[in-house]
Structure 1
Amino acid sequence: MRQSEIKIIGLTGGIATGKTTVSRIIREKGYPLIDADLVAREVVEVNEPAYREIVNIFGTSILLSNNNIDREKLGSIIFDNKNLRSKLNNIVHPRIYLKVKEYIEKYKKKGSKLIFVDIPLLIEVKNDLEKENIRFDEIWLVYANKNQQIERLKERNNYTNEEAVSRINSQMDIEEKKKYCDRIIDNTKNIKYTIESIEKNISEIIME
């Protein structure tokens, strides 16, 4: 990696593969990381344009007592409804992409040479991202196998086996995602192993 070069890394994974843990470790190592989930929360804050549009479509029953959107309730509404999911995405996604670009430019101006962007469904929305001129030098996948995903999801969310499998099957298969990624962060073992995998991949890209 040349001294003047800036690398934008897309970080993705599947549900319960450990992407939150990997993102935290990357931040702790001092690298800027833009979390698309946090950006998604920003753009739907009370009285933001996206907030008003969502309430107009889904009604006030999706609001918490403090008027914030109940993300879990909204998620359950759109989970099995492709039409409503599409409507929500059309409201939220363009605003997320705009905000992500703003953050990337901010970190570039600060002199950051390695910038990570954490997007859970990066592979699925890659074409949309490219239309918005968001491109990645590499895509890294946080990997755990499907059985691990199921067990972690059951433990984390108190899901039944059936509920966990249903959630996982609603996303692209983790083995399929491997085909679209440049590097793998192996999160199949313990935290020490995961940290070593992160350090190895960061070291390799810096040395290129």
Structure 2
Amino acid sequence: MIIGLTGGIASGKSAVAAMFEKRGAHVINFDVLARVVVEPDMPAWKDIVAHFGTDILNEDRTLNRAKLGDIVFSDVQQRKALESFIYPQLFVEYNRRIEEIRSKDPNAIVFADVPLLFEIRLQSMFDKIVVVYATSEQQMKRLIERDGLDHESALKRLNAQMPLEQKMQQADYVIHNTGSLQETEADVNETWNTLSRLKQ
């Protein structure tokens, strides 16, 4: 069973993914895959540098994420260009990892942590979809504290995504990450138990 796990930026997807992993799920994080496929001299890296120029590189030739982020979160067309370079390579790596997991554990419950699941219309890839919800105020606060962004930059990143309320309407399950850790764990537990029963 493959579950799409999504939410908004800084809604707590990674923390929730770790909770599911602790209960026995396999987790594939699309942000991690995206970093793997843009390492220097990989095909996606070459496409990105050809399009955006060498100004977006660090001295060690890795991508300067802050510079690239400033460009793509200010310009929808540039963001789409970046996605068109990354996603084809990302799906090759994703499929490889799915096959690897299935070969070792045919009955695995796999969570794919996909930040832009709805935005890039990947719903059909998953058996069920879980959305992690936090309020926009909580997201802003976490973005500013976690990533050291100023208010305007944080708001740009937040506004670049579909509102969480819309994502919740399309979800099979919602994990509320708005209260205490124990409350989030309780939501995770209930969802995990339901998914485990469905798998049988």
Give the structure-1-normalised TM-score: 0.88
Secondary structure of the corresponding residue to residue 149 of structure 1: helix
Secondary structure of the corresponding residue to residue 122 of structure 1: coil
Structure 1 letter corresponding to 2:187: S
Query: Structure 2: which 5+ runs fail to align?
Result: none
CA contact (8 A) 2:20 2:192 kept: no
Q: Distance in 1 between matches of 2:86 and 2:49?
A: 12
Q: How many residues align?
A: 197
Aligned to 2:174: 184
Secondary structure of the corresponding residue to residue 23 of structure 1: helix
Secondary structure of the corresponding residue to residue 33 of structure 1: strand
Query: Structure 1: which 5+ runs fail to align?
Result: 1-6
Aligned to 2:164: 174
Which of residues 186, 191, 196 is equivalent to 1:201? 191
RMSD over aligned Cα atoms:
1.7
1:83 maps to 2:101: no
Q: Distance in 2 between matches of 1:100 and 1:75?
A: 23
Percentage identity across paired residues of the two chains: 37
Cα deviation, 1:105-124, whole Å, max 9, x if unaligned, reads: 11111114201100001011
Q: 1:147 to 1:43 in 2, by over 3 A?
A: same
CA contact (8 A) 2:26 2:108 kept: no
Q: Distance in 1 between matches of 2:154 and 2:80?
A: 23
Q: Distance in 1 between matches of 2:57 and 2:149?
A: 24
Q: Relative to structure 2, which stretch is displaced further, 157-166 or 66-75?
A: 157-166
Aligned to 2:33: 39
Aligned to 1:4: none
Structure 1 letter corresponding to 2:182: K
Aligned to 2:23: 29
Q: 1:33 to 1:148 in 2, by over 3 A?
A: same
How far 1:64 sits from its partner (Å)? 1.1
1:120 maps to 2:115: yes
Cα deviation, 1:86-143, whole Å, max 9, x if unaligned, reads: 221111111111211111111111114201100001011125x75xxxx111000011
Q: Relative to structure 2, which stretch is displaced further, 106-115 or 157-166?
A: 157-166
Give the structure-2-normalised TM-score: 0.91
CA contact (8 A) 2:26 2:110 kept: yes
